[in-house]
Amino acid sequence: MQATALIYALLLDTNPTIRAVQTQRIVELAGEPACDLALTLSPTVHALGRGTRIPLIDLALGALKQLRPEQHKVFRQTIHGLIQADDRVDLFEFVLHRMLKRHLDRQFNPQSQRRTLHHDISEVLPECFVVLARLAWIGGDNDSAAANQAFQAGLRSLALPRLDQSLPDDPQVPLQEVNRALEKLAQTVPPLKKTILNACATCIGHDQQITIGEYELLRAIADSLDCPMPPLPLEVPTQEIS
């Protein structure tokens, strides 16, 4: 129960109205003891800061893999309820979903394994553009010039002939589009996955500053591609908010 309660605690909103909806959903779906433990853990989890969220999830994954199938079903239903409490999905919730999908579905939903369908980068270029654009805008902090420089650096890392591709104008590339792109990119051959992930790392490392948001999204991309995280040029700040 501690591992599941830890994940619930990470998802609890600071807005009292949303938090009240979330706690009610934990009680309804996972039970009152799980809710009490999540509320107990919440102050400590939030005091640790954004930079600890991914490491905390990593620590919990081993225990989550030991859940019984019926416990896992309750856990995933509860996670869904918590994420949907405010009728929107933020970046961290998206990242958490991708991490759980990679690390737990193999065990609890083996029929969901993807086939390898794409062997050439040309087959998935639109999806690469979507993912690189979201990364570039996160790091660019709504500065179109900085975001475009990062985007172009990522494109060059794909080692293709010169691409005349401009950065999309929308700073908020919808996460639904990113999700669809990652589902297709996950169907590429392993060497291509590595190339794509390295391009993403090049994109966020272009300005020599890596924000929490960039790091979290890169982790979601790495998990979606079933690749280890590439080495990053700088330490990720533990408190910076992107």
**Looking at residue 81, what is its pLDDT?**
96
**Looking at residue 239, what is its pLDDT?**
46
> One-letter amino acid identity for 87?
D
Expressed in percent and rounded to 5, the helix, strand and coil fractions of the chain are 70, 0, 30
77/71 Cα distance (integer angstroms): 10
Would you tell me how many other CB atoms lie within 10 Å of the CB of residue 60?
A: 19
HSE-up of 82 (CA within 13 Å, CB side)?
A: 30
Give the position of tokens 């991490």. 99
The answer to whether 237 touches 215, Cβ cutoff 8 Å, is no
- The dihedral built from the CA positions of residue 5, 6, 11 and 12, taken in this order, carries a sign that is positive
Q: How far is CA 65 from CA 29, 79, 96, 148, in A?
A: 19, 15, 15, 40
Residues 6+ apart with CB under 8 A from 18: 85, 86
Per-residue pLDDT of the chain (242 residues; tens, 9 = 90+): 799 999 999 999 999 999 999 999 999 999 999 999 999 999 999 999 888 999 999 999 999 999 999 999 999 999 999 999 999 999 999 999 999 988 898 788 776 666 788 999 999 999 999 999 999 998 766 788 999 999 999 999 998 877 778 888 877 789 999 999 999 999 999 999 999 999 999 999 988 888 899 999 999 999 999 998 876 655 555 444 33
What is this structure's pTM?
Answer: 0.88
**Looking at residue 115, what is its pLDDT?**
75
The phi and psi torsions of 183 (rounded to 5 degrees) equal -60, -40
**Looking at residue 137, what is its pLDDT?**
92
- Nearest residue to 94 (alpha-carbon basis) of 213, 200, 229, 231: 213
**Looking at residue 37, what is its pLDDT?**
97
| Residue 115 host element (H or E) | none
- The dihedral built from the CA positions of residue 240, 131, 173 and 13, taken in this order, carries a sign that is negative
**Looking at residue 241, what is its pLDDT?**
38
28/183 Cα distance (integer angstroms): 31
